[in-house]
Amino acid sequence: MPDQTNRIHNGVLGETKPCQFIFNEQRFTGQTGDTLASALLANGQQLVARSFKYHRPRGIFSAGVEEPNALVTLRTGALTEPNTRATVVEMFDGLEAKSQNHIGPLSFDVMAINDYLSPFLSAGFYYKTFMWPKNFWEKLYEPAIRRAAGLGSLSMQEDPDTYDKGFLHADLLIIGTGPAGIAAALTAGRAGVRVIIADEDFLSGGRLNHEQLHIDEQPASEWAKTSMQELASMSNVRIMTRTTVYGSFDHGIFGALERATEHKLNSAGKPRQILWRIYAKRSLLCAGATERSIAFGNNDRPGIMLAGAVRTYLNRFGVSAGKQVALFTNNDNGWQTAIDLQKAGVEVSAIVDSRDIKPPFTLSDVPVYMNNQVVDTSGRLGLQSIKLASGETIQCDVLGVSGGWNPNVHLTCHQRGRPVWNNELSAFVPDDTMPASMLVAGAANGQLSLSEALLGGHEKALAVMDTLGVKHSSAPPAKSTTEESVTISAFWQVSGSSARSWIDLQNDVTTKDIAQAKKEGFQAVEHAKRYTTLGMATDQGKTSNVLGLAIMAELANQSIPQTGTTIFRPPYTPISIGALAGRSRGKHFRPTRLTPTHDWATKHNASFVESGMWMRAEWFVQDGESGWRDSVDREVRQTRESVGICDVTTLGKIDIQGRDAATFLDKVYANTFATLKPGKVRYGLMLREDGFVMDDGTTARLSDTHFLMTTTTANAVNVFRHLEFCRQCLWPELDVHCGSVTEQWAQVAIAGPNSRGLLESIVDKPFDISNESFPFMACAELTICDGTPARLFRISFSGELAYELAVPSRYGSSLMDKLMEAGKPFNVAPYGLEALGVMRIEKGHAAGNELNGQTTAGNIGLGRMVSQKKDCIGNVLSKRPGMNPDDSIALVGFMPVNPTDTFSAGAHFIAKQAEPTLANDEGWMSSVAFSPSLGCTIGLGFIKRGTERLGETVIAHSPLLKKDVEVNIVSPHFVDPEGERLRG
Amino acid sequence: MNAALAPNPTYTDMLIPHPLLGLRDSAEFVYLGDAKLLLRPNADSETAADEFHDYLHLRDNPAGLHKELWFHEYGDRSWLVVTRDTLTHEISDVQLARDVVIANSEQQNGQEHA
C-alpha cells in the first residue's frame, strides 16, 4: 500500500518531517505533529483494536483523551506501556506500537467467538452464569474469562524511567489552551497576573486547530499560535503543554501530570513524567467539550467515529478518515463536518439528520435525509454501508456521528460539585456547587460557539482580577470571529433496530444491558454503572456516560435531572503509578537511617537488618563461621565471659528540660521520677491513657532541671509526639521543653564482666568508675580519650555488668575503633541486634514483642510500678476490672522438657491432653531464642496466672508449624536471677 | 499514646493556616482528631473511671464544623486546634492548642472565684 493515501494536506502542521513507525510489526510513515491515530488513519488503518468483552473489531473513534477504542501498547521490553490512547500519542521517529486483547492476528482474533456467546455475557453475567460446579469458578471459569477479557498487559519488568514531582504557585491557573483559555491568559497576563496555563495537548489552541474558524480575519490556528507566542514572552506567564490537570483538591490545590519526554524515542536520563502540585489562588476551567455518540444498531464498527473527530483529523492533521464519508447528526454542528470535507474534496455520501426540520445548510451533490435515522451498519472489519430507517442503504467507509457536546465539567465536580442539566444544550453544565475559587469559561461552561468562548474567557479573567484586586484594562483580546450555529435537538437512541446498539464502546455495554439492569432492579445510576460497567476503565465514560444516563431516563420514563449523574473523581485521565511514586521507589521509598557506626560495622563484616527506618548490624561474621547462629552464639559467649560492645544509638533519646521537668515526667511515666537524684538513672514505664503499656526505657537525671529520656527504637517518634501532646495540650502551664536528640549522640553498650576494665582505659582521669563511686544506675557527664565529651550510664539490658557510653555522633565510629583497640586484652567482641535480643531474653526483659499494645503493667510483671500516689497518663483506666482479672496472663519463661526440642514464637499454650481450641487457649509464646548460656531453646511468653504456675508443664502448640512441644513454666530470668552480676 | 489515638499521616491536599507560620500544606501535619481530648478529666473525681472512659472513647464525628487536633510534626511541632467543616474542608479557625487550654483554665478559674 502506498504511504499515507489519506493524507490530503499538512493541516495546521505546516512544515513537517516524516516519521517511520511500526504498528503490529508493519512499517508505516507518519509525520511530526501527528498522533499515532492520525498517522494510522493517514495510512488507511481503520482496524486498530478488539473490544473488551466481545472482541469486536474496533477502529479509531475520537481524536482526543476520550478515546474508548484505540488503546495500544507502546514500546517494548521494560519500557512497555499498555493501554495508551492512540489518539493522544505524539508521533516520533521510531515509535513502536501494537494492538491489544486478541489471540492471533488483529484481523482474525480467535476470541471473537465471545461475540457469538454474547447472550451469556450480558450485564452482570459473572453473578449468574458459570456458577456450577462451584469450584470450577475459581479454577477454570474465572481465569479463562480474565484471560479473555481485558486490556493490555504489563511487561513485569522494572520501569527504567525516572519520574519527578514538583510544586508550583500561581495567582491564576488556567486549564486548557482553547479559545477561552487563551483569551483569559492574554487578558490576565497583560495585566501582570501570575498565570499558569496548562493543556494536555502538545499543540496549543484546542478547537482553534480543529475547525475552519477565523479570528480577526486570520485563521484561528494562526491566532492561537501568535497569541501563545505573546504569552510565552511574558515573564509572569508559565505555559505547560503536554500537561493534564487531572484533579482539583481542597483549598485551590491542583494535581497536574506533565509528560516530559514521552514524545521522544528515549528519555535520555530526563524524567519521563513530572507530577506537579499547583497551588492556585484562583482557577479558570477552560477544558472544552466532548462530543457524544448516538446509539444505533452495530454502531461500533471501525470507521464509525465522532463527527468532530473526522473534522479534527481533516483540519488539524490534513487526514481524511475515509474515501466516502456519511454523517449522522442531531445538531447543526455535525453538518460542519460535511462542509469541511466537501471543501477538501472528500466525497460525502449522505447526511442523516434525526430532526424534523428544514436542512440548516445547503450542500450541493450531497444526499440529505432529514427526520431519518441510521438503523444498522455492515462491514465486519471496517464499515461498508449504513441502512436508514427509511430503507435506503448507503455505501460509505466512514460514518461521522454527532449526538451533541458535553461540557468537560469534571474538575468542577472533584469536591462534590454536581453539574446541572441544561435543556437547550441537552447537556450538563457546571453549577455553583464548584469550589469558590474556581470559574469556568467557554465550552466547559456550555458556551459552545467561538465568540462566546473568547468573550467568556476574557470576562472571567476580569472577574478573577477584580477578586484579586488587580487593576486591568478591559479590551477583549479578539474583535471579530466566525459565527457558529450550535442548535441541537436531543436524540439519544434509534429504536426499532434488532442489532445491538453500543453505548460504552470500551466496556461493551449496549442499550440491552441498560434495559436488563433496570429490569433486575439496578435503576439508580450508581447501581446501573456498577452492574453494567458503563463508564468504567481508562476513558471513564467520557463519550458514553451522558448517553447511558439519557437511555436510563427514557427507560424509567423520567427526566435526566431526575435520573441523576455518577460522581466524577480524580484523575481526569489515567496516571501511571510511576508518576505517583516519583522518586520514592525501591530504596528511596522511605528514608534509610544509618547509625554513626554503620561504616565501621560494614568494615567489620556486619550483616544488616532493617529495623524501622534504621539499618542495624544483626551480627558480625568471623572467618570459619558457617551460619548466623555461629556468630550470634559466639558474640553472646564472648560478652558474658568477657566484654562485648554494641551500637544502641537507635534508641530514641529525648532531652527534657525546665523547672517542672520532674513534675512532667511524673505525669507521663507510671512510676515516680521526682525522687530521682541528679546523677542517677531510673527505669520508666509509660502507659497509654487507656491503661495499657505504651513504651519503656531508662531516664537519666543529669541535673535538677535536666533529664534525658530513652525510648524503644520503634516508638521513638510516637513517644515524642505524645510528650508534645501532654506538654502543649494537657499541661501547658508547666515549665518544660522537649527536644529529640536521638541523632545527636552515638550510644554504645559495653557489657560483660570486663566492661569496667575496658572503660577504665578510655575514661579521662580523675573520673572514678569504681563500683563504689559509680554504682549500678549511676550516670555522669565526663570526658574520654583525652577530652572528648561523653555521657556514661551504668545500665544493663544484657544482665551483665554493663554501661552505655554516649559521645557526639561524629565520634561514634572512632569510639568503636578505640574500644576495639583498648579491648584487645579482653578479647572484646562487637555484637549485633540478634545477640542483644538473645541476652535480653536470657535476662527476661520485656521488649517490643511483649509491649505489643495489648499488655498491661501487671501482665509484664511490673504492676507495682504504677504509682498509687499520683495521677499519670493511663493511671485511672489501668485499674479497670477488665484489665485486672483473677486469671490474668503473666510474663514467664519457658524451657523445653526435652532439652533438644525447639519451639518458636507465636505458639499458643494449652494444657497437656487438651484439644487445641480457642476455649483451651491459655496464652502465647512472645519471644524465643537459642540460649548459648543454657544450651537449649528458651522462650518468654504470657500464660494465665503464670507466676503461680512455675514448674508446671504445658504444651506449646503451633498450628502454623504443625508442632506440639512440652515446655516447663520457669522464671523469666534465665540468667543471674538475683541480679548480682549487674551490680558487681 | 492509645492505639485509637495513634495519628496517621494524612495525604489529603489541604492548606492549614498556622497561627505562627501562615499557610502550610496538610502533608506537614499529623492528624489526631476531636479536640475534646484537651479536656482531660480530673483523676481524683469519684466518677473518674467513667469520665476517662467517655473522654477516651466517645468522640464527636459531626458532618459540619469540627474542632480537631493537628500536630505540625514536619514543622514547628505545634499542636493546633483546627476548626474544619468536614463537609467542605473549609477551615474557619486555627489556634495553638496551648493557648486554647490556658484560656479554658483561666475561664474556669474565673468562674470558681466568681
**How far apart (Å, rounded) are the C-alpha atoms in residues A331 and A448?**
12
Residue pLDDT, tens place only, A178-215: 999 999 999 999 999 999 999 999 999 999 999 999 99
The answer on pLDDT for B11 being more than 50 is: no
**Is A35 part of a structural domain of the chain?**
no
Instruction: State whether A676 and A805 are in the same domain.
Output: no
CB contact under 8 A, A725 and B102: no
Helices A525-532, A511-519: inter-axial angle, 10-degree rounding:
120
**Is A5 part of a structural domain of the chain?**
no
Instruction: State whether A380 and A297 are in the same domain.
Output: yes
Residue pLDDT, tens place only, A2-28: 589 999 999 898 889 999 999 999 999
- DSSP symbol at B30: E
CATH number of the domain enclosing A672: 3.30.70.1400
Q: Would you state the cell numbers that stand for residue A494, as one nine-digit string?
A: 434509534
pLDDT reported for residue A566: 82
**How far apart (Å, rounded) are the C-alpha atoms in residues A912 and A142?**
46
Residue pLDDT, tens place only, A917-973: 999 999 999 999 999 999 999 999 999 999 999 999 999 999 999 999 999 999 999
What total of structural domains would you count in chain A? 4
- DSSP symbol at A766: T
CB contact under 8 A, B56 and A689: yes
Identify the three-state secondary structure at position A628. Answer: helix
Residue (of A660, A742, A744, A735) closest to A697 by Cα position: A742
Q: Is A557 left (phi over 0), alpha (psi -120 to 50) or beta?
A: left
Residue pLDDT, tens place only, A441-476: 999 999 999 999 999 999 999 999 999 999 988 788
pLDDT reported for residue A149: 63
- DSSP symbol at A388: E
**Over chain A, what is the mean pLDDT?**
94
Instruction: State whether A916 and A784 are in the same domain.
Output: no
Q: What is the DSSP string of A127-185?
A: HHSS-SSHHHIIIIIHHHHHHHS-------S---S-EEEEEEEEEEEEE--SHHHHHHH
Q: Tell me which of A740, A763, A778 is where a domain ends.
A: A740
Residue (of A777, A770, A747) closest to A677 by Cα position: A777
Burial tier of A602 (Cβ tally within 10 Å: 0-12, 13-18, 19+): middle
Residue A681 burial (CB count, 10 A)? 21
**Which residues in chain A have their CB less than 8 angstroms from residue B14's CB?**
249-251, 253
**Is A271 part of a structural domain of the chain?**
no
**Is A884 part of a structural domain of the chain?**
yes
CB contact under 8 A, A729 and B38: yes
What total of structural domains would you count in chain B? 1
Instruction: State whether A619 and A751 are in the same domain.
Output: yes
Say how far residue A818 (Cα) sits from the centre of its chain: 47
- The 3 state secondary structure assigned to A516-542 is HHHHCCCCCHHHHHHHHCCCCCCCCCC
Q: Tell me which of A367, A402, A437 is where a domain ends.
A: A402
The answer on pLDDT for A790 being more than 50 is: yes
**Is A76 part of a structural domain of the chain?**
no
Residue pLDDT, tens place only, A890-920: 999 999 999 999 999 999 999 999 999 999 9
**How far apart (Å, rounded) are the C-alpha atoms in residues A705 and A48?**
77
Identify the three-state secondary structure at position B89. Answer: coil
* Average pLDDT of the residues in A601-614: 95
- DSSP symbol at A235: T
Instruction: State whether A783 and A883 are in the same domain.
Output: no
Assess contact for A722 and A711: CB atoms under 8 A: no
pLDDT reported for residue A99: 94
- Identity of the residue in A255, A721, A877 whose CB atom sits nearest the CB atom of B71: A721
**Number of residues that make up chain A:** 984
CB contact under 8 A, A253 and B77: no
Q: Is A408 left (phi over 0), alpha (psi -120 to 50) or beta?
A: beta
> Residue A332: CB partners within 8 Å, gap ≥ 6?
A360, A361, A485, A486, A487, A488
**Is A827 part of a structural domain of the chain?**
yes
Assess contact for A942 and A859: CB atoms under 8 A: yes
**How far apart (Å, rounded) are the C-alpha atoms in residues A273 and A223?**
30
pLDDT reported for residue B7: 35
CB contact under 8 A, A688 and B44: no
The answer on pLDDT for B95 being more than 70 is: yes
Q: Would you state the cell numbers that stand for residue A816, as one nine-digit string?
A: 568503636
Identify the three-state secondary structure at position A91. Answer: coil
**How far apart (Å, rounded) are the C-alpha atoms in residues A93 and A16?**
12
Assess contact for A310 and A397: CB atoms under 8 A: no
**Helices marked H in A852-940:** 875-878
Q: Is A827 left (phi over 0), alpha (psi -120 to 50) or beta?
A: left
pLDDT reported for residue B10: 36
Assess contact for A540 and A571: CB atoms under 8 A: no
pLDDT reported for residue B6: 32
Q: Which residue of A has its CA nearest to B1?
A: A688
Whether the ω angle into residue A574 lies within 30 degrees of 0, i.e. cis, is: no
**Is A955 part of a structural domain of the chain?**
yes
* Amino acid, res. A235: S
At A872, is the pLDDT very low, low, confident or very high (cuts 50, 70, 90)?
Answer: very high
Q: Would you state the cell numbers that stand for residue A227, as one nine-digit string?
A: 497569541
Cα distance from B110 to chain A (closest Cα, Å)?
Answer: 16
The answer on pLDDT for A123 being more than 80 is: no
User: Computed from CA positions of residues A155, A161, A166, A168, in that sequence, does the dihedral angle turn out positive or negative?
Assistant: negative
Angle, vertex CA A63, rays to CA A60 and CA A68, nearest 5: 50
At A106, is the pLDDT very low, low, confident or very high (cuts 50, 70, 90)?
Answer: confident
Instruction: State whether A765 and A640 are in the same domain.
Output: yes
Instruction: State whether A698 and A815 are in the same domain.
Output: no
CATH number of the domain enclosing A807: 3.30.1360.120
The helix or strand, by DSSP H or E, that contains position A97, with its residue range, turns out to be: strand A95-99
Q: Which residues pair with B82 in a beta bridge?
A: B68, B94
Q: What is the DSSP string of B90-101?
A: -EEEEEEHHHHH
**How far apart (Å, rounded) are the C-alpha atoms in residues A92 and A623?**
58
Instruction: State whether A628 and A756 are in the same domain.
Output: yes
Residue (of A577, A573, A579, A591) closest to A166 by Cα position: A579
Residue pLDDT, tens place only, A642-681: 999 999 999 999 999 999 999 999 999 999 999 999 999 9
The answer on pLDDT for A367 being more than 80 is: yes
At A170, is the pLDDT very low, low, confident or very high (cuts 50, 70, 90)?
Answer: very high
* Amino acid, res. A27: R
Point out the least confidently predicted range of A49-58, A160-169, A216-225.
A49-58
**How far apart (Å, rounded) are the C-alpha atoms in residues A365 and A496?**
30
Cα distance from A250 to chain B (closest Cα, Å)?
Answer: 5
CATH number of the domain enclosing B81: 3.30.2270.10
Structural domain boundaries enclosing A761: 604-649+744-831
Residue pLDDT, tens place only, A257-286: 999 999 999 999 999 999 999 999 999 999
Q: In this complex, is the C-beta atom of A721 within 8 Å of any C-beta atom belonging to chain B?
A: yes
Residue (of A162, A160, A174, A182) closest to A256 by Cα position: A174
CB contact under 8 A, A724 and B32: no
pLDDT reported for residue A495: 86
The answer on pLDDT for B9 being more than 60 is: no
Interface of B with A (CB under 8 A): 1-7, 12-15, 30, 32, 37-38, 40-41, 43-44, 48-49, 52-53, 55-56, 69, 71, 73, 77-79, 88-89, 91, 96-98, 101-102, 105
- For testing contact with chain A, the best of B10, B13, B58, B108 (most A CBs within 10 A): B13
The answer on pLDDT for B1 being more than 70 is: no
What are the two backbone dihedrals, phi and then psi, of residue A634, each rounded to the nearest 5 degrees?
A: -65, -45
Burial tier of B20 (Cβ tally within 10 Å: 0-12, 13-18, 19+): exposed
Assess contact for A933 and A636: CB atoms under 8 A: yes
Instruction: State whether A972 and A890 are in the same domain.
Output: yes
pLDDT reported for residue A132: 65
Cell 489552551: give the residue. A177
pLDDT reported for residue A130: 62
CB contact under 8 A, B89 and A694: no
ipTM for the assembly: 0.91
Instruction: State whether A806 and A922 are in the same domain.
Output: no
CB contact under 8 A, B79 and A729: yes
Instruction: State whether A901 and A978 are in the same domain.
Output: yes
Percent residues over pLDDT 90 in chain A: 86
pLDDT reported for residue A432: 83
Assess contact for A175 and A283: CB atoms under 8 A: yes
User: Computed from CA positions of residues A75, A81, A83, A89, in that sequence, does the dihedral angle turn out positive or negative?
Assistant: negative
**How far apart (Å, rounded) are the C-alpha atoms in residues A907 and A941?**
9
**Is A158 part of a structural domain of the chain?**
no
Whether the ω angle into residue A179 lies within 30 degrees of 0, i.e. cis, is: no
Structural domain boundaries enclosing B55: 3-113
**How far apart (Å, rounded) are the C-alpha atoms in residues A818 and A813?**
9
CB contact under 8 A, B43 and A871: yes
Cα distance from B6 to chain A (closest Cα, Å)?
Answer: 8
The helix or strand, by DSSP H or E, that contains position B57, with its residue range, turns out to be: helix B48-57
- Partner B, chain A 641-660, Cβ-Cβ below 8 Å: none
* Average pLDDT of the residues in A787-807: 97
User: Could you tell me how many CB contacts below 8 A there are between chain A and chain B?
Assistant: 90
Strands A427-429 and A737-740: unpaired
What are the two backbone dihedrals, phi and then psi, of residue A512, each rounded to the nearest 5 degrees?
A: -65, -35
Say how far residue A345 (Cα) sits from the centre of its chain: 50
CB contact under 8 A, B12 and A250: yes
**Higher-confidence residue: A194 or A415?**
A194
The answer on pLDDT for A350 being more than 70 is: yes
Assess contact for A272 and A28: CB atoms under 8 A: no
Cα distance between the two ends of chain B: 37
**Which residues in chain A have their CB less than 8 angstroms from residue B5's CB?**
688-689
CB contact under 8 A, A724 and B2: no
> Residue A365: CB partners within 8 Å, gap ≥ 6?
A342
Percent residues over pLDDT 70 in chain A: 98
pLDDT reported for residue A641: 97
CA dihedral A220, A226, A227, A229 (to 10 degrees): 150
The helix or strand, by DSSP H or E, that contains position A405, with its residue range, turns out to be: strand A405-407
Instruction: State whether A637 and A749 are in the same domain.
Output: yes
Cell 509572569: give the residue. A236
CB contact under 8 A, B7 and A721: yes
**Which residues in chain B have their CB less than 8 angstroms from residue A252's CB?**
15
Cα distance between the two ends of chain A: 95
pLDDT reported for residue A2: 56
Q: Would you state the cell numbers that stand for residue A30, as one nine-digit string?
A: 507518519
Give the C-alpha distances (Å, rounded to integers) separating A648 from A169, A633, A654.
44, 19, 15
- DSSP symbol at A476: -
**How far apart (Å, rounded) are the C-alpha atoms in residues A516 and A527?**
12
* Average pLDDT of the residues in B86-110: 92
pLDDT reported for residue A110: 77
Burial tier of B84 (Cβ tally within 10 Å: 0-12, 13-18, 19+): buried
CB contact under 8 A, A875 and B43: yes
**Which residues in chain B have their CB less than 8 angstroms from residue A687's CB?**
none
Helices A179-190, A450-468: inter-axial angle, 10-degree rounding:
30
CATH number of the domain enclosing A979: 2.40.30.110
Q: Tell me which of A699, A724, A740 is where a domain ends.
A: A740
Q: Would you state the cell numbers that stand for residue A898, as one nine-digit string?
A: 526435652
